[in-house]
Chains A and B, each alone.
Chain A
Amino acid sequence: MTPASRNIGRLSREFARRELATLVGTTGVRSAVLFSADGFEIASQATDSAAAARLAAIGSSLSALGSAIAAEAGLRDFERTMIESSDGTVLIMRVHGTRAMSLAAVADHGAVLGTLLWATQRCCEALGRIAGE
């Protein structure tokens, strides 16, 4: 059992994978990883499992840096951050639940930004509900 698997139960991990599959079904979205605040992958939809684990670690650093810069600016909780590159986007969004978790969605240039934001938000809300149960 990986440490992060304690975050949510076995059944809800299956549910998490299904929710991530829906997100990856969005046009342009290539992969999605749900991870703990300390950088462990909890569930993922990605072809490369080693890449998913690395994305979890880097995503947790970015979430923590997002929280740090928000606090520095006198703002409240971190909600999301977006890395835009020449040929795609990585969106990192906080999942509200009993344990601190975030979601990273990787999209190529085929994704429409508004759709990506909406679909990821919807996925985070669904994950937040199961994590809260």
Chain B
Amino acid sequence: MNPGVQGEFKIVFTGPMGAGKTTAIAALSEVEPVRTEVENTDRMSHDKEFTTVGLDMGRITLPGGQVVRLYGTPGQARFRFMWDILGRGAAGAIILLDATQAGVLVQLDLFVDAFAAHVPRGAIVIGLGRTHQPGALASDAFAERLEARGFTLPVLSVDVRKRRDVMLLVETLACILEAQTTEGLPS
């Protein structure tokens, strides 16, 4: 299915700036993740101190013994070249979105299109953050948007700071991959 070490595969965490990609990988990884955060000078786009400009990289061993390499992308469109570098050879993608961010459905389209080109059909899971905050778009809106464009993908509400929530995203993706291959997880 995908080239790589037996029983080891790669998934990509992506989504716009400030969605929590670096936080999610840090919450889940069993090793200290590689980070490439630098000072954020674009406070108009997102008011946070640091931003990822290269990649995040962590690792998790699933209960079945499969090793999953976790890669995080930068969120800004000017780093599109990194999306393609990291998306290449990925078994699946997890798209993190902030449900309170303006234009979040456009962001959904952008990232689904960018990663659908790299991963096997349907191997994408959507993680929605800040769904309980005022102004958050209901998760139905995301599912409807996807359906209207011919995608049927799981949409889960998550707090990326919580390891359990991030693990649920990875396990959901692993289930999809397992269902897609007769021999279980991609090897």
A residues within 8 Å of B by Cβ? Answer: 3-4, 6-7, 36-40, 53-54, 56-58, 60-65, 67-68, 72, 99-100
Contact = CB atoms under 8 A, between A and B. Distances in A.
B34 A60 contact: no
Instruction: Classify the interface of chain B: helix, strand, loop or mixed.
Output: loop
B82 interface: yes
Contacts of A61: 36, 53-54, 74, 79, 81-82
Interface of B: 34-45, 51-55, 74, 76, 78-79, 81-82
A68 B34 contact: yes
B26 to A, nearest CB: 14
B39 A38 contact: yes
A47 B104 CA distance: 35
Contacts of A40: 41-42
A53 B81 CA distance: 13
17 contacts: A3-B41, A36-B39, A36-B41, A37-B38, A38-B38, A38-B51, A39-B76, A39-B78, A40-B42, A54-B81, A57-B79, A61-B36, A61-B74, A61-B82, A64-B36, A64-B53, A100-B38
Given A39-B76, A53-B78, A57-B81, A67 B36 contact: yes
A56 to B, nearest CB: 8
Contact of B53 (A7, A37, A53): A37
A39 B53 contact: yes
Interface centre among A37, A63, A72 (most CB of B within 10 A): A37
B79 A3 contact: no
A38 B42 contact: yes
A56 B51 CA distance: 15
Contacts of B42: 3-4, 38, 40
A37 B40 CA distance: 8
Contacts of B81: 54, 57-58, 61
A65 B41 contact: no
Contacts of A53: 78
A40 B39 CA distance: 12
B32 to A, nearest CB: 10
Contacts of B55: 65
